[in-house]
Amino acid sequence: MATWAEFAAAAPEMAAAGRALLYQFGPGLGYLATVRKDGGPRLHPFCPTVAEGGIFGLIIPSPKQGDLLRDGRYAIHSFPKPDSDDEFYLAGTARRVDDAALRAAVLAAYLSTGATSEGHETFFEFDIERALLAIYPKRGEGPGWPPAYTKWRDPAVRRRS
């Protein structure tokens, strides 16, 4: 699966628009979907950080942390814009990262946005298998459906049946 840098090199306009949606309120904000032990979905708000060529999360001890440690499959979805329903989505596999220097650099980038850290989070990188960007007209300006979709899939990942 691809890193954020690889995704951004392959689809720069999509990555820029997605990053803008994730960071539209200052710190990165989105929803993180994980897989519960029973196979069902779990959804959490969280703060993704795009830095050092990757997309990362500092995850406190919680059900979502347990889900990612057990089964790294994830989906990230941006918050909508205040004036339109634009959306950005990533999916792939998260993995725990134990590199202290990388963690420090990502933490510095995270804190620079006004976010806070408790210092005991587990550090994850989100490898990207696919991405989706949907752009809608501003609310009240024309028909809202269908949006303009842009899709990306890591060419190195074999398609599932």
Q: Dump pLDDT digits (tens) for 56-104.
A: 999 999 999 999 999 999 999 999 888 889 999 999 999 999 999 999 9
Distance, CA of 8 to CA of 13 (rounded, Å): 8
Alpha helix (H) residue ranges in the chain: 4-10, 12-22, 63-70, 100-111
Give the C-alpha separation, 28 to 78, whole Å. 9
Q: What confidence category does residue 24 fall into, taking pLDDT thresholds of 50, 70 and 90?
A: very high
Place of tokens 């009240």: 140
Distance CA 104, CA 6 (A): 22
Q: So where are the chain's domains?
A: 4-137+147-153
Q: Could you name the CATH architecture of 4-137+147-153?
A: Roll (2.30)
